[in-house]
Structures are given as structure tokens and as C-alpha cells.
Amino acid sequence: MNRFLLPRLLLLSGFLLCFSLVAAHPLLAPVPPPPAIDPAVYQLGRALFHDPRLSANQQVSCASCHDLSSHGADALPLSVGVDGAQGQIRALTVYNASLNPMQFWDGRVRTLEEQVDGPLHDVLEMASSWPEVLSRLAEDRQLVAAFEAAYAEGMTPQTLRSALADFQRTLVTLNSPFDLWLAGETSAMDAQQQRGYRYFIDYGCVSCHQGANLGGNMVARMGSLHNYMELKGAALNHADLGRYRLTGRDDDRYVFRVPGLRSAALQSYFFHDASASSLEEAIDMMAHYQLGRHLPDEHRRAIAAFLTALVGEHPERQVEQP
């Protein structure tokens, strides 16, 4: 080979490798900035999010199960609702929920407005109703006046839903190391996180965890290559049936919405049933049940490191970067 050509080829190959590592995978995207929300509506939605009067016993608010100071959910395997009732499925984060084209583990509603009715009416969560909520909130003349100023129709179930949904649309996490890295800040992710990103793609994790939220935009069976539900045995419950509860179709048995990974590194428990209690355990389980693979320790640790690089910032979030 020409002695002048070889160095040029090596230089070109090195450039292409560097470019491929800092280029976004076509299925991934940075978190977009939140939409502009009327400040008055934002304040109403934020107040409602923290208001226990939405629940039957006036002790449980949205924030009870969705801690904004951390990862947007609680640190329990299963959340506790009114009068100590325990839920059957783990609370999902509200951070970046606006990026998901479907809500809840089973994806049963499409919008954040529709999502509000789920926990409000669930007997294991808030166990309430709109007539009850309106009756309680109507006694708060300051709140009523604020709704009348913000909405022509005043305080109604629709405007309560709208305010809560618009507040949640502001709960997007920006400036994660991964997004900064994609924008060209090559030092935003360290070498191990960059290796984890490569393994995340090479092993096929990105085939389900995709989009700006790295998940949330599709459904998949829990246990695609190995029967995860065999682990449950007698503990298998109605919530484990996934979308089958909605459709009654056998093809939807054990099918769930794929969770987003943007706040996964801050979680205490993983999966719909909280069956994993550490990030690396969850990665191992996904590799086995979804991919049919066994990960070397270094690969698992690198993927976990990459997931820490997905954690972004938000004014409500008080935890430090993992």
C-alpha cells in the first residue's frame, strides 16, 4: 500500500469512529424544551398536583406517589393510596410523561388530560370523583377566583384536568450529560458511559427504549424470549396481565408500555411489579428475559453508567446527578 495513503486511511477511520460515537442513533433524540404555558395555569396545576383535597380522605395528593424532588415517583415498591390501600402496580415517573404518546403501564389513554381520571377514580389511589372534588374545592374562594381568571368557564372537571396536564407538560428534564454529549460536548459523558451507550445500541436495547424519553412510545411483552411470569408463580395477579385487561386478546397478555429510562438511574425499584431493586439487576433481567443474553459484568456496569447519563435537570428536582 502507498506509504502516504495508509496514514490518511487511518486518520479517516479514526474520524469516522469518533463521528459514529457522538452521532445520535436514528431512534434516539434529546429531550425537547417544554412548551410555553400560561404562568397562571402553571401555578394552578402545580397547586393541584400537591393538593390532597383531590382524594377521598383528603390525605393523598398526586405528589404523594410522584415525588418531584427525586425521580418523579415514590421510593416504594407499590404506592399507598387512601386509608393505606396498597396499589398493585408500581408508580411511573411523571417526569417526561408528556413525551409519551400513551399513558399508564397498559397505555390505556393517550393524553395527560385523560390520565388525570385514572388515579382520581381508582379505589386504591385517590378513591374520589369529580363531584366530590368540585364540592371541596368550591369552598376555597381564592382557588375558585384563580380558575375564573385563568379559564372563561371557571372551575370544572375539564379545567382541573387541563391545569394538571399543562403543569405536567413542564416536567421535562433538560441538559442531561447524554443530551449535552449529543450536542457536541464530547466530555459530557465519560469513557465508561460512552461504552455503555455503544452496548445499549449493540445489544438491541434501543429497539424498545427509543425516542426522546428512551421508551414510552411502544408496547412489548414482559418476557419476550423467556417466560418472566413463571417467576411469579402464585403471586401472579390481575395487574400482571397488562393490556390483556383492556382488550381480552391473548396477544396482549403480559404486554406493557415500555417505560422511559430518563430517570431510571434514580429509581429504587424497577418494572411494573417492582421485581428488581437495583439498576444493574434490572439490566440483567432485561438482557435475559427480553434479549436472551447474558451480559459480562463490564458490559452491565457500562450500560448502568450510560443510564446515569440520561438524568436531566428540572427546577423541582433536588437530587444530585447519580
Distance of CA 286 to the CA centre of its chain: 17
Please return the burial class of 234, using the count of CB atoms within 10 Å of its CB with bins 0-12, 13-18 and 19+.
exposed
CB 176 within 8 A of CB 28: no
The β-bridge partners of 219 are 257
Residue type, 255: V
- Helix axes of 39-49 and 141-150: crossing angle, nearest 10 degrees: 140
Q: What does the DSSP 8-state code read for residue 161?
A: H
One of 113, 114, 125, 139 is an active-site residue; which one? 125
Whether 148 sits among the annotated catalytic residues: the reply is no
Which residue's entry shows cell 425537547?
A: 32
User: What are the backbone dihedrals phi and psi of residue 202, each rounded to the nearest 5 degrees, phi first?
Assistant: -65, -40
The angle, 0 to 180 degrees and rounded to 10, between the axes of the packed helices 157-169 and 130-137 is: 90
DSSP 20: H
Q: Which three cell numbers stand for residue 32?
A: 425537547
User: Which cell is 312 given?
Assistant: 436531566
Q: Which residues are catalytic?
A: 125
